[in-house]
Amino acid sequence: MRRPALSPSVTAALAAALLFGASTPLAKQLLRDLPPVLLAGLLYLGSGIGLLLLRLLRDRGWRAPAMPAGERAWLALAIAFGGVLAPLLLLLGLARSGAAAASLLLNLEAVLTALLAWIVFRENADRRIVLGMLLIVAGAVLLAWPGRLAPAAVGPGAPLIALACLCWALDNNFTRKVSASDALFIAGLKGLVAGIANVALAAMLGARLPAAATLAAAMTVGLFGYGVSLVLFVLALRGLGAARTGAYFSTAPFLGAAIAILAFGDHVSPAFWLAALLMGAGVWLHLTERHEHLHTHEPLTHAHRHAHDEHHQHPHDFDWDGREPHTHEHTHAPITHAHPHYPDIHHRHPHR
């Protein structure tokens, strides 16, 4: 029997799902005082402002991110699709569809993320990973499934919601391209742009800012549920790739439902336990994955936080105090070896 392997990247993905899942019942409470569009904007704005302030404190002032010029276009695409287009399409779709149908359709994001990763971006996956993802998504669908879902409940907004999911799936894969860069900067910038866009849209729809206490609560939930969650999501992308990270993150609805049951006394249905079983089986299949074969690393130059392991044997062109991990631009020499690995930033090689 395979033993589960809880790597730092897997832990980051599950922690991201936990924080995002926890934000759902909290946001539901905030909807009593805020319209949905304004709440979305404040959640994103809280994440963006909070993370950029944390980055200023960490770096003791503003420091330009060490991002290669070729990655800036990927980040711009991720922000445009995930921070601007997707929320707008979702809101337009929700206005034309029932809430239950929309909840079901939102599970398309994980499926589309994986399909794009496997087909377009050539990320490796075997049958075990595919089956695990399907079980996790099936659990999420079961949680969102209403007692009755008439065909008319889907409504004409379904294509718009599906397009929103496609935009977020593209965002996930584009963000994977820049995941070696500063996660605080990536998540902070995405949150800031998405927050400004959604608050501006809410203002055009006639929304007004709430009382200071409600404003602070919304932005605090956004900082942790959207901001810190996204930082962890980027770190998971760095170590796992888009498909596996998306699958782990799909446990968020279950974690959110569990928190709602424990904290707010929500009703526990039989579907909850069946969803827990399906998601648990899916996560177990992912945790027990062992992908190992002979592979070759091509020469690669990039900058990210690292320690001097087998993949990071390089000289330094600056005075190094010996502390690890550290961040600087470095070059990987070609190497051929075999060991267990994920499709992380150092293992994006082709498979026959």
Identify the weakest region by mean pLDDT among 43-52, 204-213, 306-315: 306-315
Identify the weakest region by mean pLDDT among 188-197, 232-241, 258-267: 258-267
pTM: 0.82
Look up the domain containing 273 and give its range. Answer: 8-292
Whether the per-residue pLDDT at 15 is higher than 50: the answer is yes
Question: Coil, strand, or helix at residue 305?
Answer: strand
In a domain, 257, yes or no: yes
In a domain, 193, yes or no: yes
User: What is the token pair recorded at 313?
Assistant: 């044997």
In a domain, 42, yes or no: yes
The domain tally of the chain equals 1
In a domain, 331, yes or no: no
User: How distant, in Å, are the alpha carbons of 125, 139, 143, 267 from that of 273?
Assistant: 28, 9, 9, 12
Q: Tell which residue, 34, 165, 43, has the closest CA to residue 97.
A: 165
- pLDDT class for 235, splitting at 50, 70, 90? very high
In a domain, 208, yes or no: yes
Question: Coil, strand, or helix at residue 329?
Answer: strand
Highest mean pLDDT pick, 110-124, 137-151, 260-274? 110-124
Read off φ and ψ for residue 336, nearest 5 degrees. -120, 125
pLDDT at position 281, please? Answer: 92
pLDDT at position 339, please? Answer: 63
In a domain, 313, yes or no: no
Mean pLDDT of 88-113: 79
In a domain, 150, yes or no: yes
Whether the per-residue pLDDT at 348 is higher than 70: the answer is no
In a domain, 343, yes or no: no
pLDDT at position 80, please? Answer: 93
Mean pLDDT of 300-308: 71
Identify the weakest region by mean pLDDT among 208-222, 244-258, 286-300: 286-300
pLDDT at position 275, please? Answer: 87
Tokens 């499926």 sit on residue: 111
Mean pLDDT of 79-98: 84
